[in-house]
Structure 1
């Protein structure tokens, strides 16, 4: 599977779109805003730039795509008014893989800019320029020493490819308690290569003193088979797929050759790669947790299963359709929902651990 060609969130604004099923992602971004503001404040205070280049990697499409950009612009405007400086010109670079729904995002720009202008008190704010940058962030995307601030949320747990030589990970689609040791090693090695490449590329593209804030799903435990989210999420999806194998809807060899290109690292694994690459000083490296009760307590069990099923569909449908064909997607999601409802009723749905990294380019 060519991940760069296949991986993207569900497009459009329909019921199963990522746009309508990314409430958790927005909650996570909102939680990290104090760290984002801290990083931008430190950058602006140390440079007072007349122009700023901001990149958002893995921007996707929908309500969240321009949320961080809006907040960053507001932060800059507050800082420059306080300091009495002229408003800097801001270039916003929005990156995602080529299959991303850039069209929906660009169509929202006029209303976004209008709303932003109404929220900013200063009439001389801006100007702001927006560009789309399709491509994998596991390679170079921007000119050398061109970026002042870089942000990415809920993207870096996606790998550049499914690890090689994990054909013996039978009945699983990710790391599980029954996965052989070589599978765990292959996933970790792929993460090391990918994250190291990511850091090297960004080190070339960022100015000295530039700031980068990254948030992605991780884990508290050093054991990658620990039943934290999203391990449990992929395990439930594997159960749904295996049920369909037993019914003859999916061939066993199809199931055995399907694995998700994801790795949720521990804090120590992330720190190790940052120190090994060496181009960034660590300002913050911490985790936060969103418990399932905190996120779902306003819904009843059936609503939660519907929301969670739509959320995983918005993320995983392109991968499932590419591998199994589009004829199975409705049954897979229906079965996943039933299994999930059973786990919710037993209150065994784990929370989600988020790793937050704030660094400065040396």
Structure 2
């Protein structure tokens, strides 16, 4: 069975086949959420006027490399502008980069050298606030910070990952209730019980995440979260399938907007839902075109395959061994190309902003 804390991490490094190289879709998501992040940051700062503002990027490997720099330099620039307007020149910012221990924190810290230049370019006037950046290798489904210590949480492209494969899905340690699927496939292939187990695991994880962050946020603190979801209420529209796999399951679940709202409303004594929106991003992270036509199937299928490999290869290798990876993803490339010849696929991404009550 997959152990998410032990087995899961993004493909390290900065070259071909690295997650940083193929994380452009996450760049798109960060740009899409930029106004939400800016609004939350300004509201928290103006309401609390903290001398030390603590900001945590949870699941930071999903914004690795240039994306880490993009988010953090944006935040520093926002605070610099606010300091100038309020004549607060001694404001200090502490940022924490959090992810599972197996991720490439060295690569993340190497990318920090460019933050000052990027923030300076964004902030045309005045000096930048002091800032200090630390790494925190631990699951965000556990307590990370002291109570009432964080002003702003950010998480991009992470919360669709579950803390574990749903309990009860693997019946004997070898076989799965989902038979030859590694995820929810279709009504004819996936039983209602499997769907229920994934939904319950999602509810359990998100509820726990909200409870933990509520303890850690200061009064009036906020969170901006972006995760993969789905457009329709019909859960069977999500497809991730491999043949001849009976003891392997992906701990992933893409909720609908209504499912997310329902869980937050159940915790209505903790957070106000300030903003929630669903938008779509092309499956190919390097395809910025509009419409439903794939203009270069060969190139797009390779981009998609390599991007997915940078995310999933650690989990697959932990279960099947590394020797199958090249052959497996070569076959996957062919499957993706055939699919793109029929239709252009897009991801649904849910963005939300919550304020601690």
Aligned to 2:213: 202
- Segments of 5+ residues of structure 2 without an aligned counterpart are 170-175, 290-294
**Other-structure match for 1:307:** 303
**2:172 alignment counterpart:** none
Which of 270, 274, 285 is residue 276 of structure 2 equivalent to? 285
Aligned match of 1:111: 114
For 2:292, the equivalent position in structure 1 comes to none
Instruction: Please point out which of 238, 242, 265 is paired with 2:255.
Output: 265
User: CA contact under 8 A between 2:15 and 2:21: conserved in structure 1?
Assistant: yes
Structure 1 residue 14: deviation in Å?
A: 2.0
One of 348, 353, 357 as aligned partner of 1:358: 353
CA distance in 1, matches of 2:215, 2:177: 38
Q: More displaced, 46-55 or 209-218? A: 46-55
Q: In structure 2, what is the Cα distance between the partners aligned to 1:140 and 1:29?
A: 25
Other structure's SS at 1:66 match: helix
Name the residue aligned to 1:246: none
Which residue does the alignment assign to 2:228? 217
Matched positions, count = 340
Cα separation, partners in 2 of 1:115 and 1:353, compared to 1, 3 Å: closer
1:4-15 mapped onto 2 (5 Å cutoff): 4-15=5-16
Partner of 1:143: 146
| TM-score (ref. length: structure 1) | 0.90
* Aligned pairs (5 A) from 1:117-266: 117=120, 119-122=122-125, 124-166=127-169, 167-177=176-186, 178-226=189-237, 231-232=238-239, 234-235=240-241, 238=242, 242=243, 252=244, 255-266=245-256
Change (3 A) 1:144 1:294: closer
CA–CA distance in 2 between the matches of 1:12 and 1:338? 26
Change (3 A) 1:86 1:272: same
* Residue aligned with 1:179, SS: coil
Paired residue secondary structure (1:128): strand
TM-score relative to the length of structure 2: 0.91
Q: Show the counterpart of 1:19.
A: 20
Indicate the SS of the match to 1:225. Answer: helix
The whole-number CA distance in structure 2 between the counterparts of 1:156 and 1:293 is 21
Runs ≥4 residues deviating over 6 A: none
In the TM superposition, what is the alpha-carbon distance from 1:115 to its structure 2 partner? 4.1
Secondary structure at the residue paired with 1:129? Answer: strand
In the TM superposition, residue 87 of structure 1 has moved relative to its aligned partner by 4.5
Answer whether contact 1:97 1:134 (CA < 8 A) is retained. Answer: yes
1:145-193: per-residue Cα shift (whole Å, max 9, x none)? 0000110000000000011222121111101101111100000000111
**Structure 1: 5+ residue runs without aligned partners?**
243-251
Deviations 1:85-131 (A, max 9, x none): 22410000110000010011112223333443455345542211000
